[in-house]
């Protein structure tokens, strides 16, 4: 399989809108028309319950992790990093939803879990702690990304390509969370 084929596979995997599919199947509603309008796990939990939210989080992480695992096995870490970026892009801008998807946090977690597992674990623990304390998902996501980047660069043994990818995904998450950041600055961000 060529690098281009793997990247395309990563994008198509990332573009599967599990939040939309599962909420429609379970509740008969379009998750984009409820809550924040996002297809990700946090809005799914708001609209359809925590259990479905957790399932979407796991599936969104897997759609990032699995194509990266495949690419790493057959083409190496550099191609795997490109596949990870493509999976993230697929979630954020899925072709099936007119390029309007989610914020990419769970998919980024899945990608980083394969290439920089200690950074992903540190980020996931940070998210869980911040969410438990503040009940604001966007703050947890952004702090988790920052911690993951820090761990990726500072912990020995993380390949430079994985640390660079973690940084790039965090930069992209800042962009996808720009609305949340504005609401945080105005103290108007909703709690979970």
Model confidence pLDDT, tens digit, residues 150-186: 999 999 999 999 999 999 999 999 999 999 999 999 9
> What number is the average pLDDT over the span 83-96?
97
- Asked if residue 128 has pLDDT above 70, the reply is yes
Q: Quick one: DSSP state of residue 157? A: T
With H, G, I as helix, E, B as strand and everything else as coil, classify residue 76: coil
Specify the range with the lowest mean pLDDT, choosing from 33-37, 88-92, 94-98, 149-153.
Answer: 33-37
Q: Which residues have CB under 8 Å from 126's CB, separation 6+? A: 140, 143, 144, 147, 148
Q: Confirm whether pTM is higher than 0.85.
A: yes
Mean pLDDT of 38-55: 95
Whole-angstrom distance, CA of residue 66 vs CA of residue 57: 14
Average pLDDT over residues 23-49: 94
* Average pLDDT score over residue span 91-98: 96
The pLDDT of residue 3 is: 94
Report the alpha-carbon angle 124-125-130, nearest 5.
Answer: 100
CB 103 within 8 A of CB 41: no
Q: Is the pLDDT of residue 24 over 80?
A: yes
Please check the confidence at residue 1 and state whether its pLDDT lies above 80.
no
Position 56 scores a pLDDT of: 97
Q: Which region holds residue 122: left if phi is over 0, alpha if psi is between -120 and 50, else beta?
A: alpha
Res 191: pLDDT = 87
Torsion angle, CA of 38/39/42/47, rounded to 10 degrees?
Answer: 90
Contact between residue 13 and residue 5 where contact means Cβ atoms under 8 Å apart: no
Instruction: Give kind and range of the element (H or E) at residue 7.
Output: helix 3-14
**What percentage of the chain's residues is helix, strand, coil (to nearest 5)?**
80, 0, 20
């Amino acid at each position: 399989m060529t690098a281009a084929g793997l990247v395309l596979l990563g994008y198509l995997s990332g573009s599967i809108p599990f939040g939309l599919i599962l909420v429609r199947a379970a509740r008969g509603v379009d998750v984009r028309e409820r809550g924040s309008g996002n297809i990700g796990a946090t809005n799914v939990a708001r609209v359809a319950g925590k259990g479905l939210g957790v399932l979407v989080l796991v599936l969104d992480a897997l759609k990032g992790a699995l194509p990266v695992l495949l690419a790493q096995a057959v083409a190496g870490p550099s191609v795997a990093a490109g596949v990870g970026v493509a999976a993230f892009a697929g979630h954020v801008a899925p072709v099936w939803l007119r390029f309007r998807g989610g914020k990419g946090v769970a998919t980024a977690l899945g990608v980083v879990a394969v290439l920089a597992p200690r950074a992903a674990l540190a980020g996931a623990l940070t998210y869980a702690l911040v969410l438990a304390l503040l009940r604001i998902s966007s703050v947890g996501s952004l702090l988790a990304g920052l911690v993951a980047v820090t761990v990726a660069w500072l912990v020995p043994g993380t390949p430079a390509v994985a640390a660079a990818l973690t940084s790039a995904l965090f930069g992209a998450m800042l962009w996808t969370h720009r609305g949340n950041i504005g609401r945080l600055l105005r103290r108007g961000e909703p709690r979970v």
